[in-house]
């Protein structure tokens, strides 16, 4: 026979309080709506959080409480000990119930919320909530964006948008940038040429669009433009359906060079002149490079008359990249001390 945990003195009152809240919610037929279920879970978590501050409410007690709740409500799912812990963490992450509605947390499935409560930074949590709701992210997409630090990379690529676009347009355009872009899903190494990486991005277009962010639609690769007998090809062309603007992306496998901005600006002008319609916002360009000197980028952007930005890209996740030996370390391992 398994040992029963010593129950806190307030256990019976706690069980009764939670049972009453569940009963009231069920009687109003509100559990069919996800938002009401989220608020119920928050209220249960709030009770457990308060109890845990004044008594011993460890795993054993929560397991007993879970069993009692399942006995009271056999047709309801969600009353496992693990889920009760999640509810308690949920209430700790959002101490005020009003903030759940204000931040649209109650528009997310419970599974998404269990992923978010592991984030220590409240600002980052709010960012992921907003973008998960707006973008209709699945739980896997949410996990991917958290792992790839999307909130930290969002809207920070150096650009000249504020100089060349009106205030609203500049802010909107800046919002669709990231730095760096994490392209670890391509399964290519840094020695591959630009065409190979571009092709890999097209082959994995769903993953590419996910990394670019909500609103991007793929137009084409190596898009051809003829200018008085000369042929030019845009590496990757996208259209942002929310901002109604074309986005020209050029990819360079080497370090950023000032002449890269001139080439990208030329392609932005081509798209503006040949594809942009009257209802469209200004076309913008984004240069993805393997590395960059921020000062050189800043001076180069100051000379461009086209709205462009520069961002780095990564082909390996940070944790794997840092774990790999450097070229010098490999040489020492193979050749020995010199």
Sheet holding 216-227, edge to edge: 181-182, 308-314, 284-291, 245-255, 230-240, 216-227
**Pairing mode of beta strands 308-314, 284-291:** parallel
- Residue 225 backbone phi and psi in degrees, to 5: -135, 135
pLDDT for 333: 55
**What six digits make up the tokens of 222?**
């190596």
How far, CA to CA in Å, does 321 sit from each of 182, 190, 234?
Answer: 12, 11, 30
pTM for this prediction: 0.80
pLDDT in tens, 212-229: 998 999 999 999 999 999
Q: How far apart are the first and last CA of the chain?
A: 67
User: In this predicted model, what pLDDT tens digit does every residue of 41-58 receive, in sequence order?
Assistant: 999 999 999 998 887 888
Q: Which residue has the higher pLDDT, 143 or 337?
A: 143
Map out the domains of the chain as residue ranges: 11-151, 153-322
What pLDDT, on the 0 to 100 scale, is given for residue 324?
47
Indicate the CATH number of 153-322 among 3.40.50.720, 3.40.1350.10, 3.40.50.2000, 3.30.70.60. 3.40.1350.10
């Amino acid at each position: 026979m398994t040992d029963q945990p010593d129950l806190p003195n307030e256990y019976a009152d706690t069980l009764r309080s939670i049972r009453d809240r569940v009963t009231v919610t069920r009687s109003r037929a509100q559990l069919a709506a996800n938002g009401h279920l989220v608020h119920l879970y928050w209220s249960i978590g709030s009770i457990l959080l308060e109890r845990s501050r004044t008594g011993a409410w460890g795993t054993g007690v929560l397991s007993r409480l879970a069993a009692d709740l399942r006995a009271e409500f056999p047709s309801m799912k969600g009353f496992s000990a693990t889920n009760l812990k999640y509810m308690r963490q949920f209430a700790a992450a959002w101490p005020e119930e009003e903030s759940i509605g204000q931040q649209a947390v109650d528009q997310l499935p419970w599974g998404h919320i269990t992923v978010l409560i592991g984030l220590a930074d409240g600002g980052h949590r709010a960012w992921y909530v907003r973008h998960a709701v707006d973008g209709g992210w699945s739980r896997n997409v949410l996990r991917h964006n958290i792992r790839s630090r999307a909130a930290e990379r969002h809207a920070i690529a150096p650009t000249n948008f504020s100089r060349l676009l009106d205030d609203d347009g500049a802010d909107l355009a800046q919002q669709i940038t990231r730095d760096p872009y994490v392209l670890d899903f391509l399964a290519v190494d840094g020695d591959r040429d630009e065409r190979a990486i571009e092709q890999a991005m097209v082959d994995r277009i769903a993953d590419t669009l996910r990394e670019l962010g909500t609103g991007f639609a793929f137009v084409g690769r190596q898009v051809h433009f003829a200018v008085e007998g000369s042929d030019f090809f845009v590496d990757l062309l996208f259209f942002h359906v929310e901002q109604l603007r074309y986005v020209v992306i050029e990819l360079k496998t080497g370090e950023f060079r000032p002449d890269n901005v001139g080439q990208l600006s030329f392609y932005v002008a081509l798209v503006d002149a040949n594809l942009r319609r009257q209802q469209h916002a200004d076309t913008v360009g984004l240069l993805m490079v393997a590395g960059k000197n921020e000062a050189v980028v800043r001076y180069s952007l100051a000379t461009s008359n086209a709205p462009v930005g520069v961002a780095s890209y990564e082909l390996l996740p940070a944790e794997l990249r840092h774990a790999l030996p450097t070229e010098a370390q490999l040489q020492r391992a193979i050749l020995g001390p010199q």
